[in-house]
Structure 1
Amino acid sequence: MGNVTRGTTNPNRLRRMDRWIVATHGAELRRVADPVAVDLGYGAAPWTAVELLHRLRGAAPRTRVVGVEIEPARVTAALPYEREGLRFRHGGFEIPVSGRPVLVRAANVLRQYDESEVAGVWQRLCARLAPADPATGSRGGLLVEGTCDEIGRRHVWVALGPEGPRTVTFATRLASLDRPSDLAERLPKALIHRNVPGEPVHAFLRDFDRAWAAAAPYASYGARQRWIRAVHALSTDWPVTDRPVRWRQGEVTVRWEALAPRA
């Protein structure tokens, strides 16, 4: 179920997203007996699925990864890369794996869909996630859906749980950044057409640019220090959910409700 994407992919393209997943969702992967992660729409080559297995197993050694592609020829081409813990399957948004995955990563997949289709896809994918379990403190599975540039320098993604969207994360290679609003071109489909006056995401990027400009004196200490200062200032007016340890990575995460499109 779904449409064939362009399939563009490059090694190490999704490193920023993977690094964030390991930091924020690694404990959930370790908690379950059989953690299954899905790389949905991995593209014309299986590099991102291979890398995802390696990175997740560094945090949760029992993790299994299933690469899912809607184009049969891409699945056939990926089969020689199967190994212990890594399999490839033909399919789409129905997620053709047994049980409920603890993670679904869908990078650069919805970019080619209409904005009106996003909510339905999110709902379908969230319904396939492992459910929350209050008895153990589990928040359930995680869907990470977003967009990045061709070599992974700039990336924006939405994190969703079984209950729906939770947060939006902006991540960048700071040396490539002129100003934070440069990330607007990588907004996920749910937000990219909302970067206009009157919409929350536009106001957020405007305020981020202002905080970045005000932090210009810190540029003499490097782009990292300037970013940290700008995010710290931004957090006084916006619900930033992470801490300086993540900001140092060129990231900032904000609650979804603050950036969600107006009705």
Structure 2
Amino acid sequence: MSTRPVGTPTRGTTNPNRLRRMDRWIAAAHGPALRRAARPLAVDLGYGSAPWTTLELLRRLRTADPRCEVVGIEIDPARVAAAKPYAVEGLSFRHGGFELPVPEPPLLIRAANVLRQYEEGEVAAVWARLCGRLAPGGLLVEGTCDEIGRRHVWVALGPEGPRTVTFATRLGSLDRPSDLAERLPKALIHRNVPGEPVHAFLRDFDRAWAAAAPYASLGARQRWMRAVRELGRDWPLRDGPKRWRQGEVTVEWAALAPSNE
């Protein structure tokens, strides 16, 4: 008996290279786990109306491990049919949703710009369902970016739940760090109000950015790195200068989690 896919279709908006920041972080942060796996299987959930970002995910994961396989999953059967001509060895496309119709638990699930249309109260159940499908040592990366990938925020989750939040941006387009607030994932975007941890984090980030203004003469990257270093005095950051140089900063989820958790 066929089972109806779980979830609702996204708008389908997609552009080549849109998810490059997320993909580079995944390859760096999750590469060792991919290399240890007997079969490094990844899922691109809700890839949209065209498969460009799924093809790019395969290419970027294979810089970490050439054995990586990717399955693109879409709830809209027309999108799956349109993507199938792009299938190659190690890359396939399937009709489905949050139930993840793959032959074995994946080591990675990427869900970019999928939960934006859902209610905040629905996010925890989706996270739990997807995390429950992960292989041991697996990773779920769920987040939101703008149309051309200049600004991106994502949550990384393991089988036990959320671990970190990463903010990533094209530094030349940034006026101040709180500009990234518009790309917060659904679990946090409505929490950017006084009294909530994510609001305090972005407030402190803006203050550190302002204090680092003298470094702007050395370039936006140096100013960002100085601001992040200062931010790390009060917030539990999980990365270092190598990632900061990419226009990234990762903070522990527990520090930004909604105040009612």
Q: How many residues align?
A: 255
Following superposition, the deviation at residue 199 of structure 1 comes to: 0.2
SS of the equivalent of 1:92 reads coil
The equivalent position to 1:56 in structure 2, one of 51, 61, 67, is 61
2:171 — aligned with what? 174
SS at match of 1:105: strand
Alpha-carbon deviation of 1:211? 0.1
- 1:69-93 deviation per Cα after TM superposition (whole angstroms, max 9, x unaligned): 0000000000000000000000000
Cα distance in 2 for residues equivalent to 1:198 and 1:98: 44
Spell out, residue by residue over 1:167-211, the C-alpha distance to the aligned partner (whole angstroms, 9 max, x if none): 000000000000000000000000000000000000000000000
Superposition misfits of 4+ residues, deviation over 4 angstroms = none
Give how far 1:64 is off: 0.3
Partner of residue 98 from structure 2, selected from 93, 96, 110:
93
SS where residue 123 of structure 1 aligns?
helix
**2:228 alignment partner, one of 228, 231, 239:** 231
In the alignment, which residue of structure 2 is the partner of 1:136? none
Equivalent residue in structure 1 for 2:86, among 78, 81, 94? 81
Q: Deviations over 1:110-140 (max 9, x none)?
A: 0000000000000000000012xxxxxxxx1
- Residue of structure 2 aligned with 1:40, choices 45, 48, 58: 45
Q: Does 1:151 align with 2:156?
A: no
2:254 equivalent to 1:257 = yes
Deviations 1:123-165 (A, max 9, x none): 000000012xxxxxxxx10000000000000000000000000
Unmatched tracts of structure 1, length 5 or more? 132-139
Report how far residue 98 of structure 1 moved: 1.1
Alignment-derived partner of residue 3 in structure 2: none
Distance (whole Å) between structure 2 residues aligned to residue 94 and residue 174 of structure 1: 37
Query: What SS does structure 2 have at the residue aligned with 1:2?
Result: coil
| TM-score, with length taken from structure 1 | 0.97
Q: Secondary structure at the match of 2:92?
A: strand
The residue type paired with residue 160 of structure 1 is L
Among 206, 210, 215, the residue aligned to 1:209: 206
Matched, 1:14 2:11: no
Other structure's SS at 1:217 match: helix
Aligned counterparts of 1:146 and 1:3: Cα–Cα separation in 2: 17
Match of 1:135 in 2: none
Report the CA distance between 1:42 and its aligned residue.
Answer: 0.1
Instruction: Provide the aligned C-alpha RMSD in A.
Output: 0.4
Unmatched runs of 5 consecutive residues or more in structure 2:
1-5
TM-score, normalised by the number of residues in structure 2: 0.97
Q: How does 1:177-196 map to 2 (within 5 A)?
A: 177-196=174-193
Q: Percent identity?
A: 80
Q: Distance in 1 between matches of 2:63 and 2:244?
A: 22
The match for 1:104 is: 109
The superposition leaves residues 50-103 of structure 1 with CA deviations (integer Å, 9 ceiling, x where unpaired) of 000011011111100000000000000000000000000000001110111000
